[in-house]
Structure 1
């Protein structure tokens, strides 16, 4: 199975999103780009978590926003969130 080598995120405030994403999933910044936002949603990640509510609590402490309620589809549960600049992410519990 392939493993991601890098995740690229366009953002207005690199320091803010670097801190947010490092606390949420780890990693480090490698390069900054001077270009501005060019598309509506510059990144969307689906993150496998063992406990959605715990992930919501931890992520909102570092600046995430919750959107709606937990959804159930095909025995999987998901919660739509956004990072501090409005880019969407989903916490997913695979059952």
Structure 2
């Protein structure tokens, strides 16, 4: 038997606001299920389908340390995608790093969760 990922859940202070940010970044419509829970269904290549769900749940404590897990988002033009993310409320963390595997830019969402824009070599 194998389990499958049902959804990826972010702990946060403001689920509705974080759902709007991520929907602006990756697509999908933010859904506010309750004051403590919002989500977006990530668009799939097939119309009318979704590939996975990002969910956002309210927790009482703030983020204290670096995430042990983060999302890498494929971006053809890292500076352009980064500028759009900053306009939505993200913060750059360092500069673009390039090595033999490609390039990446670390950013923080409005609640400080790390994510990266990446592109291949």
When the two structures are aligned, how many residues end up with a matched partner? 93
CA RMSD of aligned residues (A): 2.5
What is the CA distance between 1:73 and its match in structure 2? 2.3
Following the alignment from structure 2 to structure 1, what is the Cα–Cα distance between the partners of residues 88 and 17?
Answer: 10
1:1-95 alignment, distance < 5 Å: 6-27=7-28, 28-29=30-31, 32=37, 33=57, 35-37=59-61, 40=65, 41=67, 44-95=70-121
CA contact (8 A) 1:47 1:92 kept: yes
Runs of 5+ consecutive residues of structure 1 not aligned to the other structure: none
Where 1:71 maps in the other structure, the secondary structure is: strand
**Relative contact order, higher structure (CA 8 A, sep 6+):** 1
Runs of 5+ consecutive residues of structure 2 not aligned to the other structure: 38-56
Where 1:21 maps in the other structure, the secondary structure is: helix
CA contact (8 A) 1:43 1:87 kept: no
Q: 1:42 to 1:20 in 2, by over 3 A?
A: farther
What's the TM-score once normalised by structure 1's chain length? 0.80
Where 2:8 maps in the other structure, the secondary structure is: coil
Following the alignment from structure 1 to structure 2, what is the Cα–Cα distance between the partners of residues 36 and 43?
Answer: 20
Q: When you count strand as a share of all residues, which structure comes out higher?
A: 2
